[in-house]
Structure formats: C-alpha cells, structure tokens
Amino acid sequence: MALLITDECINCDVCEPECPNEAITMGPDYYQINPALCTECVGHFETSQCVEVCPVECIPLDPQNSESQEELMQKYYKLIGSNA
C-alpha cells in the first residue's frame, strides 16, 4: 500500500525531505503523498522514513492504494529505471 498523510498533519516539514522518491509535497492545507511515487521506502530502507520521523503519527497505510511488497518493489524498480 502507499501511505497517506491525514488532516492531523501539523506541517512540521520533517517528512518531505526524508522521502527518497519525492512522493511528499505540500498540499492546499497540509502535506500529501502521491501514491504513484510512494513505495513505503521499499527498495531504499527497511521502514517508511516519513512514518519514522512524523511527530504526530498521522501517516497510516492508504486503504485506497493497496499493494503487495512485490508490487511496491516493482514500482521501485520502475521509478529508478531498472528492469530487475
């Protein structure tokens, strides 16, 4: 699954620079995650970096974007331009 930033976000700016896929951007009211770019850090790190640094724990899994670990890894390979 991709991740989702909820409206509990306090715009603290710590998650955006942690995202290796540049999936996090500022939305109209708070940060948002582009599900097409989010791999939950699969391929980069053992854990989702935005979740690790979020002080208010407002980044759950996005139920609208369910993906297996294999699908997330394939997305990672596509984003980095690899055929692996």
What average pLDDT does range 62-71 have in this prediction? 94
Model confidence pLDDT, tens digit, residues 21-47: 999 999 999 999 999 999 999 999 999
Cα–Cα distance measured from residue 30 to residue 26, given in angstroms and rounded to the nearest whole number: 6
Please tell me the CATH code under which domain 16-80 is placed.
Answer: 3.30.70.20
- Paired tokens of 76: 């990672």
With 0-12 / 13-18 / 19 or more C-beta atoms within 10 angstroms meaning exposed / middle / buried, residue 18 is: middle
User: What pTM did the predictor assign?
Assistant: 0.91
Torsion of CA 21, 27, 32, 33, to 10 degrees: -40
* pLDDT of res. 82: 84
* pLDDT of res. 84: 64
